[in-house]
Amino acid sequence: MRIAVLSGKGGTGKTTVSASLAASLESCQYIDCDVEEPNGYIFLKPELYQNISVKVLVPEIDVMKCNGCGKCSKVCQFNAIAVVKRKVLVFPEICHHCGACTIACPNDAIHEIEREIGIVEMNGDETFLHGKLNIGEPISIPIIQELKRHIKKDMPVILDCSPGASCTVVCSIEGCDYCILVTEPTPFGFHDLKIAVQLVRKMEIPFGVVVNKASDASKIIHEFCKNENIEILMEIPFSREIASAYSQGILPTHSSMEWKEKFRELYKKLERGAAK
C-alpha cells in the first residue's frame, strides 16, 4: 500500500506523522518527496550509502551547424532559449527538458546534454530514500520521479510530500492508495486543508485527516470534517513537550509505546480506508 502524507502547507506536522508512522511499522519504505527541504532523515537517522545523481537533458547548440534561424527559441514555451543577433543563448535552469527545440531545429544543430539538478540518497536496503534539489535550481519534479522509480511493491510505502498543492505534490501523490492530510486547527491550517481536500478529491484518492496541535479551544477542523463527511484519523495534542522533543529530532513514537500503538492503529484505519 502506498500512503502519501500531505498538508497544503508546511509546518503542520507532515514529517511528524509520516516519520512516526514509519517508525511504528514492522517494515516499510519511507520516501521523503520534499526535495526542497527534506527533513525525514533527521528523525529516522538512516545510514545513507547510495547516492544517485539526477540529471536532466538540456539543449546544446552546435555553432557550426546553427544558422541562427530562431526556430528553437520560437517553439520553446519556457523562454529557455533566446536568439540575439543570430547567436543562440540557452538558459538551462528554466529549461523543462521537453526536447521541442531539438525537434524544431531544421539544421540538426541541437543535441541534448546531461545536467545534474540534484541527488537521490538511500540506505542499503532502500527502505529510506530522499532527494535533494541543488541550490538555485527551480525544477524539482525529475527528482521526485527518480525517487518514485525505487518504490517497493512488497511492503507499505510512506511518501512524505512537499507543502502546497501544486505540481510537485500532484507528482508525489499520483498512484498512491491513500492520502493523509495533516492539518492544525488555526484559520491558516483550515484554509490550506480545504485546498488539499480539493486536490485529493480531484485526483480521486481516498483520504482522511490527522489534526496536529489539537486543542479544545478550536474545533473548526472537526466541524468541517463532519459536514464534508471526512474521517478524522487521529489527533495529536498541542504540547510544548512534543514540540520540544521534535526540535531535538525526537518523534513522539521514540519516547512512548503508547504513541507507537496509536500509529499502528492509524495504519489499520488507512488500510480500511484504502479498501473502501
Residues that bind another protein (CB under 8 A): 8-12, 15, 36-37, 39, 42, 75, 77-78, 96-100, 103-104, 133, 135-140, 162-170, 185-188, 191-192, 195, 198-199, 202-203, 213, 215, 217-218, 220, 238, 240, 243-244, 246-249
DSSP assignments along the chain, one per residue: -EEEEE-SSTTSSHHHHHHHHHHHSSS-EEEE---SS--HHHHH---EEEEEEEEEEEEEE-TTT-----HHHHH-TTS-EEEETTEEEE-GGG-----HHHHH-TT--EEEEEEEEEEEEEETTSSEEEEEEPTT----HHHHHHHHTT--SSS-EEEEPPSSSSHHHHHHHTT-SEEEEEE-SSHHHHHHHHHHHHHHHHTT--EEEEEEEE-TT--HHHHHHHHHT--EEEEEE--HHHHHHHHTT--HHHH-HHHHHHHHHHHHHHHHHHH-
Choice between 228 and 261, CB closer to another protein: 228
Q: How far does CA 79 lie from the centroid of its chain?
A: 26
Instruction: Please report how close the Cβ of residue 58 comes to another protein at its closest, in angstroms.
Output: 13
Instruction: Please report how close the Cβ of residue 189 comes to another protein at its closest, in angstroms.
Output: 9
Residue type, 56: V
Choice between 49 and 78, CB closer to another protein: 78
Instruction: Please report how close the Cβ of residue 13 comes to another protein at its closest, in angstroms.
Output: 8
Residue type, 157: V
Choice between 217 and 257, CB closer to another protein: 217
Instruction: Please report how close the Cβ of residue 239 comes to another protein at its closest, in angstroms.
Output: 10
Instruction: Please report how close the Cβ of residue 22 comes to another protein at its closest, in angstroms.
Output: 15
Choice between 190 and 264, CB closer to another protein: 190
| Cell numbers given for 47 | 545510514
Instruction: Please report how close the Cβ of residue 213 comes to another protein at its closest, in angstroms.
Output: 7
Choice between 10 and 269, CB closer to another protein: 10
Instruction: Please report how close the Cβ of residue 124 comes to another protein at its closest, in angstroms.
Output: 23
Choice between 182 and 267, CB closer to another protein: 182
Choice between 96 and 150, CB closer to another protein: 96
